[in-house]
Amino acid sequence: MDDEKIKKVVLEIIKSIVPKNMKKTVTLEMELRDELNLDSIKLISLVTILEEKANFDSMLASSEVDFTEIMSGNDLVKVVLEYQK
């Protein structure tokens, strides 16, 4: 998948797991934990969905990436682009 397609997929997935009243205002620049209030369970769900929809190789990424440093949707896009199957 190219950059724009991954951005679209990541944004759609994030919108699918945030509270309904936030869906219209979500951007990739927003911080996943602080601004969107995604807890660890929702972040795991996000990764699981990315594995399916974006061919994201979370096993390889987890051995090389510090996931605690992924702050925003844009940070997540970069990791997904780097670790596609």
pLDDT in tens, 42-80: 999 999 999 999 999 999 999 999 988 999 999 999 999
Q: What is the pLDDT of residue 85?
A: 85
Tell me the pTM: 0.90
Residue 24 lies in a domain: no
Residue 66 lies in a domain: yes
Q: What is the pLDDT of residue 1?
A: 82
Q: Is the pLDDT of residue 5 over 90?
A: yes
Residue 76 lies in a domain: yes
For the chain, what is the domain count?
1
Q: How many other C-beta atoms can be found within 10 angstroms of the C-beta atom of residue 70?
A: 21
Q: Which domain holds residue 37?
A: 3-18+29-82
Pair 58, 65: CB distance under 8 Å: no
Q: What is the pLDDT of residue 31?
A: 97
b/e per residue, 10-41, with b = 16+ CB within 10 A?
Answer: bbebbbebbeeeeeeebeeebebeebbebeee
d(CA 66, CA 26): 24
